[in-house]
């Protein structure tokens, strides 16, 4: 029997900015419907990894395969086609200030897929309801919302076009623990409803425990450990141990300069 | 010798690199502006922003420039008994040079800065990345409508500025300098030629494109939060102003050199 094609495959992904090596040969695979959470400290290359996978940034070397298709050097037209498979929740929500909340949620449908505005608005209001926001919120401007509400709107926007793959960039950063848990619950629920494959990056272990099937730890541009979330507390990996317990002492060195 | 030449070489390479990047940016933006999908709603929104909302500042600049031009010409021309040439000087100066250049500089300060700030903020808050993830090309959605609107609206603004500037000269000449109103209008209309106005409008189109291009370019590549957006805004206005003055000379050479 043929092995199913993984949804996402990263092979030897490298990226550097000047002399600083950010990604140093990343290899990862995500099966269809799987939820992988990449954990790591600030500046470890998590965000760059995500941007290389989604195509916002071009890696210096290595390949990204989506459904078996190489996507690192696509033409703009082909890139748009692949983008239709993606949804993304940004760390700061990245809502468009100049558009109302419902227009933000419906943006990908109207601009990306040519859906009529009235139909797109109906879908947007349904997605807002799915993340626990009433229809009246749709008529507000993003600046009128709290951080937690902005995150929910960002999530509604990410799932509006019912993507096959959803990326979450630090979904709970900047939120209080309760709102963080609400967002985690919503992520789990949306993922189950859509059957989507998800790749998340976070340094919030509570969030990782809630949303991950599998965890990969990145340090100095390399994956130093990967395994099921159930095994993370007994991984035996010194990097993971230090990270999940938040210890200053250990193999992970923080670049702190003393004046 | 090397310590002297090294910074000069660095500066030259930096200049050439920046010029190349701007040219590539412009070519990419133009190629997206002429290929579907085109966003008419966004183009109209930008046209209103650039044209309608810049009318007061451009109008005020034009009327006072026309008034000052008439006064200064009068003080100079009376020494040679050449006061009758004032309408000609006012209309030629306004239509060929002052209308497009001053309108271009005012729009660079008002609109170019706003474009750089808006797009720069979108860059640092990841809104431009969000556009990409929503299957929308930022060049088509953000840059192309602004370039098209700048190209169309600055000539319209300059046409209005020409009329207001000439009117400013007329008001001062007839109210303060004892000109006969009918003679002033006749001298103005008789002397001005289509090429005077057309050259000004061509300049305006180029300046409108430059203002939008610089605003979009510096905003699009801004980095580093509020400070980066501030720097992008300053660079957009300064570079647009310098390019306007440079291209003004080049276009004048093309139209009027013998």
Put simply, the answer to whether B132 touches A94 (Cβ < 8 Å) is no
Q: Is residue B1 part of a domain?
A: no
Residues of B in contact with A141 (CB under 8 A): none
Q: How far apart are CA A66 and CA B39, in angstroms?
A: 30
> How sure is the predictor about A172, in pLDDT bands with cuts at 50, 70 and 90?
confident
B28 and chain A in contact, CB less than 8 A: no
Best-predicted range by mean pLDDT (A181-190, A207-216, B152-161, B176-185): B152-161
Q: How many CB pairs under 8 A join A and B?
A: 52
For residue A225, the surrounding DSSP H or E stretch is: strand A222-228
* In the predicted structure, residue A12 carries a pLDDT above the cut 80: yes
**Residues in A touching B220 (Cβ below 8 Å):** none
Check whether A257 has a pLDDT greater than 60.
no
* pTM, to two decimals: 0.86
Q: How many domains does chain B have?
A: 1
Q: Is residue B227 part of a domain?
A: yes
Q: Is residue B32 part of a domain?
A: no
A224 has a pLDDT exceeding 60: yes
Q: Give the model's confidence band at A2: pLDDT under 50 very low, under 70 low, under 90 confident, else very high.
A: low
Q: Is residue B22 part of a domain?
A: no
At A79-128, the pLDDT tens digits run 888 888 888 999 888 999 989 999 999 998 888 788 899 999 999 999 88
pLDDT at A78: 82
A51 contacts in chain B (CB < 8 Å): 129
Structural domain of B127: 41-256
CB contact under 8 A, A107 and B136: yes
Is residue B134 one of the residues assigned to a domain? yes
Q: How far apart are CA B181 and CA B26, in angstroms?
A: 47
Residue of A nearest to B45 (CA): A98
Q: Distances in Å between the alpha carbon of A184 and those of A91, A170, B93, B133, B151?
A: 14, 11, 66, 21, 48
Say if strands A197-202 and A35-39 run parallel, antiparallel, or are unpaired: parallel
Domain positions in chain A: 8-85+163-245
Measure the CA–CA gap between A134 and A126, rounded to whole angstroms: 9
Q: Which residue of A has its CA nearest to B129?
A: A56
- The CATH H-level (homologous superfamily) assignment of domain A8-85+163-245 is P-loop containing nucleotide triphosphate hydrolases (3.40.50.300)
Looking at the partner chain, which of A76, A112, A167 has a beta carbon nearest the beta carbon of B134? A112
Exposure on the CB side of residue A6, measured as CA atoms within 13 A: 16
Is B221 touching A (CB cutoff 8 A)?
Answer: no
ipTM: 0.85
In a domain, B116, yes or no: yes
**Can you state the angle between helices A147-159 and A117-130, rounded to 10 degrees?**
120
Mean pLDDT in order along chain B per 10 residues (258 residues): 83 90 92 87 92 92 92 84 83 91 93 94 92 88 93 94 92 86 87 88 94 94 88 93 94 84
What is the phi/psi pair of residue B101, to 5°?
A: -70, -50
Chain A contact residues (CB < 8 Å to B): 51, 54-56, 76, 80, 83-84, 86-88, 90-92, 94-97, 107-108, 111-113, 157, 167
| Nearest CB to B126 within list A80, A94, A107 | A94
Task: Tell me whether residue B2 is in a domain.
Answer: no
pLDDT value at A240 more than 90: no
Please report whether residue B190 resides in a domain: yes
């Amino acid at each position: 029997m043929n092995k199913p094609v993984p949804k996402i495959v990263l092979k030897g992904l490298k990226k550097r900015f000047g002399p600083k090596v950010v990604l140093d040969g990343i290899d990862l695979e995500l099966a269809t419907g799987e939820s992988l959470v990449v954990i790591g400290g600030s500046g470890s290359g998590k965000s760059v990894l995500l941007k290389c996978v989604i195509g916002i940034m071009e890696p210096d070397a290595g390949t990204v395969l989506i459904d078996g298709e190489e996507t690192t050097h696509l033409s703009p037209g082909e890139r748009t086609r692949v983008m239709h498979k993606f949804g993304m929740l940004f760390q700061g929500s990245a809502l468009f200030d100049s558009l109302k909340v419902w227009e933000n949620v419906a943006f990908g449908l109207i601009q990306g897929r040519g859906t009529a505005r009235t139909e797109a608005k109906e879908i947007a209001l349904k997605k807002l309801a799915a993340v626990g926001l009433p229809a009246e919120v749709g008529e507000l401007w993003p600046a009128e919302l709290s951080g937690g509400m902005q995150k929910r709107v960002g999530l509604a926007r990410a799932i509006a076009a019912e993507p096959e793959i959803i990326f979450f960039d630090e979904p709970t950063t900047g939120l209080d623990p309760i709102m963080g848990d609400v967002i985690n619950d919503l992520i789990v629920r949306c993922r189950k409803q859509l059957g989507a494959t998800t790749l998340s990056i976070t340094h919030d272990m509570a969030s990782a425990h809630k949303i991950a099937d599998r965890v990969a730890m990145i340090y100095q541009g390399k994956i130093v450990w990967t395994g099921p979330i159930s095994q993370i507390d007994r991984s035996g990996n010194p990097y993971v141990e230090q990270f999940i317990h938040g210890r200053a002492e250990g193999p992970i060195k923080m670049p702190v300069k003393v004046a | 010798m090397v310590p002297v030449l090294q910074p000069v070489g660095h500066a030259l390479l930096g200049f050439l690199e920046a010029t190349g990047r701007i040219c590539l940016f412009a070519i990419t933006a133009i190629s997206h502006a002429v290929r579907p999908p085109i966003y008419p709603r966004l183009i109209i929104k930008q046209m209103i922003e650039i044209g309608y909302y810049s009318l007061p500042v451009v109008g005020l600049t034009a009327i006072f420039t026309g008034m000052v031009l008439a006064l200064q010409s009068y003080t100079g021309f009376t020494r040679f008994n050449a006061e009758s040439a004032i309408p000609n000087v006012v209309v030629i100066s306004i239509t060929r040079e002052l209308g497009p250049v001053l309108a271009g500089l005012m729009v660079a300060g008002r609109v170019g800065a706003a474009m750089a700030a808006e797009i720069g903020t979108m860059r640092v808050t990841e809104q431009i990345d969000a556009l990409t993830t929503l299957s929308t090309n930022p060049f088509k959605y953000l840059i192309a409508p602004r370039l098209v609107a700048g190209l169309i609206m600055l000539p319209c603004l300059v046409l209005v500025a020409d009329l207001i500037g000439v009117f400013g000269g007329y008001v001062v000449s007839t109210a303060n300098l004892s000109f006969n109103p009918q003679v002033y209008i006749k001298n103005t209309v008789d002397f001005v030629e289509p090429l005077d106005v057309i050259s000004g409008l061509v300049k305006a189109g180029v300046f409108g494109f430059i203002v939008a291009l610089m605003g979009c370019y510096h905003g699009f590549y801004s980095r580093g939060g509020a400070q980066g957006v501030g720097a992008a805004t300053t660079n957009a206005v300064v570079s647009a102003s310098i390019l306007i003055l440079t291209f003004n000379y080049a276009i004048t050479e093309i139209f009027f050199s013998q």
